[in-house]
Structure 1
Amino acid sequence: MPGDITRYEIHHILVRRRYKNQVKQCKSYFGSDINSDHNLVIMESQLRYKKFKRTLQELRWGSKLLVEKDNIERFVTDIEGNLGDEGERSTEERWGELKRAIAKVAEEQLVGKGDDPKKPWITTVIRDKRTNSRKKKIPEHQ
């Protein structure tokens, strides 16, 4: 409106409701030299980054040990020993019992044994040297 002395502030910064606490200050500058009828709007905010939780490393089973026939037979007999009698149970119950039996026997026989390194050139000698050097770095009082 020509000759009007009122000003309409129609320039905004949109912030999601979740982040509204991060906005510290907001200003609009009317006399900026930007050659436009829009006003410059500046916002100060404080960013907070999300902290990630570390997940536990899964146990790796040395499945290469199951290549030998003796190990396979021992593994199967131990699983059969951990299974109960068949009786009158649902399929889901029997499947859960089978999974628990396999996991228990695998933890006893396969965890940490025959680990396949991610790089095949790492031999057991190199792995032993690495574990010894790690043990030396750890202080004894811990």
Structure 2
Amino acid sequence: MARKRFRNKVRECKAYPGADIDSDHNLVVMKCQLKFKRIGRKDKKERWNLDELKEVKKRQEFEREVIDKMLGEEREKSIDGEWGTIKEAIIAAARKKLGVKKMEKKKPWMKEEILRMMEERRRYKQARD
């Protein structure tokens, strides 16, 4: 009853002749083991360098940047519009003041060239074409 491709997935099969149905067919029950396709990971999101916020001066600059962006933009009256304004202000300030966290050396023998090659390989693996 299973196609040739899935024959090795059938674990147990049993026919029930004389089932109470108005048909000449016999009822067949099968237990099978299927493995579903793995879904790939989504693209990694930017990780902000939050260690910068530990310094008081950097934290104050970041706060000022966020407040300036929020006050400078025209606000919408809906909650979704308000949230969009806040989110855009925080992301823009983080890009400008904090920057993206860079990959760190995990072992003493890792050089900058190895880290660069790892990042390049990661980009090629994530390419969708």
Which structure has more helix as a fraction of its residues? 2
Compute the TM-score of the two structures, normalised by the length of structure 1.
Answer: 0.45
Q: Which has the larger radius of gyration?
A: 1
